[in-house]
Structure 1
Amino acid sequence: MEIALTVLIIAVVLLFAAQFAGTRQDRSTPRRLAEIERRLQLVMDHLGVVDERPAPPGVREHLARGEKLQAIKAYREATGVDLRTAKEAVEAMMGPLR
């Protein structure tokens, strides 16, 4: 009985350790993805490649009026991304408008 309980406790501790390690890695994923996207945008800018995908509704209109904050808000509402990602995306869209 004691052996089974000991094995069970060790298994639970190992599961918690594995879960913690996975969570720590997941927290760095958005930051790493944002860095990859930033670098990709630099390469696209250098090569003169323009992304022709349509912007979410209202974003280009706000940018045309110089309303950057409203454009970021509209982008977040349409896509559900976090503030930093929305800001970077809107700033990338501002390139052709400058």
Structure 2
Amino acid sequence: MSDLALLTSYLGIEVEQARHMIRLKQKNYVLRLLEQSGMQECKSVSTPLEARFKCSEGRKSQLVDSIKFKSIIKSLRYLIHTRLELELSQ
């Protein structure tokens, strides 16, 4: 058996180890996901839609690439199911 040193990454999850603590982060995963979805310049908000927003069929909007949309949703589901705290401060 050999010592492979401290674990720093596992399945894309960043691992930070100290004497009495292990911190798991996914900052790079989140930043890469934001970049892939073209949202790296977006500002965070507590409510993503306006209050009392009304959807109407008369509004024209761009068609969405369904494959890219599904990929983003799957990535977000992975992020949620790993249940890690995200530290996005730089």
Q: TM-score range by the shorter chain?
A: under 0.3
User: Greater relative contact order (Cα 8 A, min sep 6): structure 1 or 2?
Assistant: 2
TM-score, normalization by structure 2 = 0.23
TM-score, normalization by structure 1 = 0.22
Structure number with higher helix proportion: 1
